Amino acid sequence: MRDRQQFFSRVNMKLLKLITEQTILLNLVSTNKNDVIREIMDSVISGTTDIDPANSDHIFKELLVRESKMSTGMQNGIAIPHCKSQYVNTMHVAIGISQSGIDFEALDGKTCHVFIMSLSPINRTGPHLQFLAEISQILSDERIRDRLLEAKTNAEVVQIITGT
């Protein structure tokens, strides 16, 4: 328990508050990389008034351009698709989970099961980079990854990620 408290005390909880039950897709239906990106992105856009849905195709293209530079499929079943966009005014985060796994061109060649998407304003680099670093640190813990795959509710996912 003490390890867990120390671990989360190093993380910026302000950024993790961007993760809410409304931004979690516990059972992704998509079966390929582009569809996963679209499914999670659509979830973000439908859950906010901050992003004009008319710009969803632009944001989707920005996410694909970012992926074309280097896949955000990491190791251990994690992918962190993200982009900075002129169509986004504040940072948004969403989580998708696929029990079956999806080929996301991950570094280790394995399928990805947990997807953390962030959409950030183009002119604000600090929070974007800090969030990516912090979520990567959290997901480096195998116990947390395992618990995410076993989560039954969105509230449980939030609790696991934020350590609350």
Q: Give the residue numbers annotated as catalytic, written as ranges.
A: 82
- Is residue 42 left, alpha or beta, with left meaning phi > 0 and alpha meaning psi from -120 to 50? alpha
Distance, CA of 52 to CA of 144 (rounded, Å) = 34
Spacing of C-alpha 153 from chain mean position: 17
